[in-house]
Chains A and B, each alone.
Chain A
Amino acid sequence: DQQVKQNSPSLSVQEGRISILNCDYTNSMFDYFLWYKKYPAEGPTFLISISSIKDKNEDGRFTVFLNKSAKHLSLHIVPSQPGDSAVYFCAAITSGTYKYIFGTGTRLKVLA
Chain B
Amino acid sequence: GAGVSQSPSNKVTEKGKDVELRCDPISGHTALYWYRQSLGQGLEFLIYFQGNSAPDKSGLPSDRFSAERTGGSVSTLTIQRTQQEDSAVYLCASSSDSQYQPQHFGDGTRLSIL
Contact = CB atoms under 8 A, between A and B. Distances in A.
Interface of A: 4, 6, 32, 34, 36, 41-46, 49, 51, 89, 91, 93, 95-96, 98-105
7 contacts: A34-B102, A41-B108, A42-B108, A43-B106, A44-B43, A49-B100, A89-B43
Given A103-B42, A104-B42, A105-B42, A46 B31 contact: no
B4 A43 contact: yes
Contacts of B65: none
B107 interface: yes
A100 B105 CA distance: 13
A98 B104 contact: no
B103 interface: yes
Given A41-B107, A42-B108, A49-B100, 13 more contacts: A34-B102, A41-B108, A43-B106, A44-B105, A96-B99, A98-B48, A99-B48, A100-B45, A100-B103, A102-B42, A102-B43, A104-B41, A104-B42
B67 interface: no
Given A43-B91, A49-B100, A93-B100, A98 B31 contact: yes
Nearest to A6: B42
Contacts of A36: 105
Contact of A45 (B35, B50, B105): B105
B93 interface: yes
Interface in B77-106: 91, 93, 99-100, 102-106
Contacts of B43: 44, 89, 91, 102
Contacts of B45: 99-102
Contacts of A101: 45
A43 B41 contact: no
B56 interface: yes
Contacts of A105: 42
A46 B104 contact: yes
A103 B91 CA distance: 15
Nearest to B3: A43
Max count, chain A CB within 10 A of own CB: residue among B35, B42, B105: B42
